[in-house]
Amino acid sequence: MTAMQTRQAWPDDASAVAGVYVRSWQTAFAGLVPQHYLDAMDPSREESEWKTRIAEARWPTSGVLVAETEAGIVGFTGFGPSQETPAVAEIGTLYAIPEVWGTGVGKQLMLATLTTLGQAEYTQATLWVLEGNQRARRFYEAAGWRADGAAVEDTTGGASLNKLRYRRRLC
Closest of 88, 86, 63, 79 to residue 148, by C-alpha: 88
User: Given this model, what pLDDT does residue 54 score?
Assistant: 97
pLDDT band at residue 2 using 50, 70 and 90 as cut-offs: low
Whats the size of the chain, residue-wise?
171
The answer on pLDDT for 1 being more than 60 is no
Would you tell me which CATH number, out of the four given (3.40.190.10, 3.40.630.30, 3.30.200.20, 3.20.20.70), belongs to the domain 5-169?
Answer: 3.40.630.30
pLDDT, tens digit, 9 for 90 and up, residues 67-121: 999 999 999 999 999 998 999 999 999 999 999 999 999 999 999 999 999 999 9
* DSSP per-residue codes, 58-104: -TTTSEEEEEEETTEEEEEEEEEE-SS-TTSEEEEEEEE-GGGTTTT
> Could you tell me the pTM of the whole model?
0.95
pLDDT, tens digit, 9 for 90 and up, residues 5-47: 999 999 999 999 999 999 999 999 999 999 999 999 999 999 9
- For the chain, what are the domain ranges? 5-169
Task: Provide the strand spans (E) within the chain.
Answer: 5-8, 63-69, 72-81, 89-96, 124-130, 146-154, 161-169
**φ, ψ dihedrals at 145, nearest 5°:** -85, 145
User: Given this model, what pLDDT does residue 171 score?
Assistant: 74
Written as one letter, the residue type at 22 is V
